[in-house]
Chains A and B, each alone.
Chain A
């Protein structure tokens, strides 16, 4: 048994390694092909010569995109929304999670308050009423329409409040005895001790704001105010020629649709591709800690 098990196990292990590595490569292969196309000459792409490596290497597609005023403008809008959204989301998630992590003895209104937040996961007004609310609060066509409606992420609040509740009670009690108030305990004890959970939420918040495109599409009246993701959506997916000025159309013809789209896809995902490997260990830890409870 030991012998056959040994051989069988070894064969399985080799096959398993091969299968998983092949699967992992298959997952990023489409991205690699698009990357190769973005650096290739449009004629080579049109002739179907590009596989996984650039053919007739050129940076023309990138030059075209980076010269495009609308692209740079949208990039600015995205930077603005990511910075502002990140700040607001992080402040609010801490401010909301801290009181809700208290027991009923310390915070008598806790049950009602927690349900007020959780209920929004169970039931939503839906697209049209939300859209009308934004219209009527007068924040259409401004960065606030991209930042305020999603400012309180209830799932993140729950993740953080569960994390807070697993911190040792003694820390808080001794701080109280030493005369610290809630604000001090929150900022000096709870936040520093919750870095894995905070890092996870930070990553999700930044990625979420970077990737959001639909809110830009419906709340922004002018294409100049689109964040990058929305601009890319109209360009890559819709190819809406109405949004394009004539000189853009000429340039586009010169470098071909496919290479420029490929370059745009790469630029749109670049920040995530760069940041992601460094944050991986945080989010895995954070997710696991948030999901495991006593």
Chain B
């Protein structure tokens, strides 16, 4: 017979079972499937029938002339996105905090959260239209004030910055939520004391609000470390074209093209493995740092 304790735990295991099965099947089996990176893989022969080639795929991947550029693009674009994604929401949440009329505050929040909920297919379609060099409204406006039209999505000098700016457009509003929550948790007594000492609103922001926000800023900065190799597949895929591969092709889009378009499974998995391995180190490090310095635990 089962002991009392085990019998009481049995329902808990039963509850976990469906989730466990699915996660093993669709998360852990693919992890084992990384074996493709060391094979000359053909789907028809499968994991067990394909020929093993050792480190050939990894060596070939690193020797590819495009690899270096793609890795650079990935890190460059994501680093700019991370920096902008920390600073812009912080600034806007500080400004929103000064708004005393509830109607205005609510209205602004409703509008700026909205793009977060639209997919990059929708936003990409909008951007392609409004940024079009011949017919787009942005270029019409530029021409009206005497500038030459700019091919924002087809010019390597512009493309990475269009990515960063449009990412800010989609996400900054939503990212103010966390900051605004942190703002409400600052002890009001601190402000009262500052007012008695004669501090202006600006001085209060500088000496009470910002120090009070510091822990959450540090936490978000640390956690964003894990995203250094995620430059945003959905966004890039829906906005780029071969003309801007030089400045806009990132690891994820290249893995897609090499793997699923050109069917070079081994090579694509080799790139994927490198990405997963580096990301693993970065994410683990970020959680460890967050735990160590911000007392943050994910569960």
* Chain A interface residues toward B at CB < 8 A: 1, 5, 8-9, 12-13, 16-17, 19-21, 23-25, 27-28, 30-31, 33-34, 37, 46, 48, 51, 92, 95-96, 98-100, 102, 106-109, 113-114, 116-118, 120-137, 148-152, 154, 157-158, 161-162, 181-183, 186, 207, 211-214, 218, 229, 232-233, 236-237, 258, 261-262, 264-265, 268-269, 272-273, 276-277, 280, 284, 287-288, 291-293
Docked CA distance A5–B202 (Å): 10
Indicate if the CB atoms of B27 and A280 lie closer than 8 Å.
no
| CB of B198 closer than 8 Å to a CB of A | yes
Q: Chain B interface residue count: which class?
A: 35 or more
Docked CA distance A229–B16 (Å): 32
A130 CB contacts on chain B under 8 angstroms: 26, 30, 33
Interchain Cβ contacts under 8 Å between A and B, 12 examples: A16-B99, A27-B115, A37-B129, A48-B135, A120-B23, A125-B27, A129-B269, A161-B299, A211-B117, A211-B119, A237-B125, A291-B181
Docked CA distance A114–B298 (Å): 11
Indicate if the CB atoms of B129 and A34 lie closer than 8 Å.
yes
Indicate if the CB atoms of A109 and B95 lie closer than 8 Å.
no
| CB of B210 closer than 8 Å to a CB of A | no
Docked CA distance A30–B297 (Å): 39
A20 CB contacts on chain B under 8 angstroms: 92, 95-96, 99, 104, 108
Instruction: For residue B121, give the distance in angstroms from its CB to the closest CB of chain A.
Output: 5
**Binary contact readout B16-54 vs A (1 if CB under 8 angstroms, 0 otherwise):** 101110110111111111101000000100110000000
Most chain A CB atoms below 10 A, which of B13, B23, B122: B122
| CB of B238 closer than 8 Å to a CB of A | yes
Instruction: For residue A96, give the distance in angstroms from its CB to the closest CB of chain B.
Output: 4
Instruction: For residue B234, give the distance in angstroms from its CB to the closest CB of chain A.
Output: 7
A5 CB contacts on chain B under 8 angstroms: 200-201
Name the one of B12, B108, B128, B129 contacting A21, with C-beta atoms under 8 angstroms.
B108
Name the one of A1, A129, A181, A268 contacting B122, with C-beta atoms under 8 angstroms.
A268
Interface residues of B in 146-170 (CB under 8 A from A): 169
Most chain A CB atoms below 10 A, which of B5, B99, B114: B114
Instruction: For residue A18, give the distance in angstroms from its CB to the closest CB of chain B.
Output: 10
Indicate if the CB atoms of A264 and B181 lie closer than 8 Å.
no
Instruction: For residue A171, give the distance in angstroms from its CB to the closest CB of chain B.
Output: 17
Name the one of B34, B108, B135, B269 contacting A23, with C-beta atoms under 8 angstroms.
B108
Docked CA distance A48–B140 (Å): 8
A25 CB contacts on chain B under 8 angstroms: 111
Q: Given A20-B104, A27-B112, A34-B126, is A109 in contact with B298 using a C-beta cutoff of 8 Å? A: no
**Binary contact readout B106-133 vs A (1 if CB under 8 angstroms, 0 otherwise):** 0111111111011101101111111000
A106 CB contacts on chain B under 8 angstroms: 8-9
Q: Report the stretch among B69-77, B79-87, B242-250, B270-278 that lies at the interface.
A: B270-278
10 pairs of A and B residues whose beta carbons are closest in the complex: A125-B30, A129-B33, A126-B272, A211-B119, A236-B125, A99-B12, A24-B111, A129-B30, A96-B19, A182-B11
Indicate if the CB atoms of A100 and B299 lie closer than 8 Å.
yes
Docked CA distance A291–B125 (Å): 33
Instruction: For residue B162, give the distance in angstroms from its CB to the closest CB of chain A.
Output: 13
Considering the complex, give the chain A residue whose CB is closest to the CB of B166.
Answer: A30
Indicate if the CB atoms of B130 and A30 lie closer than 8 Å.
yes
Indicate if the CB atoms of B129 and A258 lie closer than 8 Å.
yes
Indicate if the CB atoms of B125 and A258 lie closer than 8 Å.
no
A262 CB contacts on chain B under 8 angstroms: 129
Indicate if the CB atoms of B272 and A128 lie closer than 8 Å.
yes
Docked CA distance A232–B123 (Å): 12
Instruction: For residue B174, give the distance in angstroms from its CB to the closest CB of chain A.
Output: 9
A154 CB contacts on chain B under 8 angstroms: 23
A277 CB contacts on chain B under 8 angstroms: 110
B128 CB contacts on chain A under 8 angstroms: 236-237
Instruction: For residue A260, give the distance in angstroms from its CB to the closest CB of chain B.
Output: 11
Indicate if the CB atoms of A133 and B33 lie closer than 8 Å.
yes
Indicate if the CB atoms of A213 and B33 lie closer than 8 Å.
no
A186 CB contacts on chain B under 8 angstroms: 15
Docked CA distance A293–B114 (Å): 27
Instruction: For residue A278, give the distance in angstroms from its CB to the closest CB of chain B.
Output: 11
Indicate if the CB atoms of B283 and A162 lie closer than 8 Å.
no
Docked CA distance A178–B283 (Å): 44
Instruction: For residue A283, give the distance in angstroms from its CB to the closest CB of chain B.
Output: 8
A120 CB contacts on chain B under 8 angstroms: 23, 27-28
Indicate if the CB atoms of A265 and B125 lie closer than 8 Å.
yes
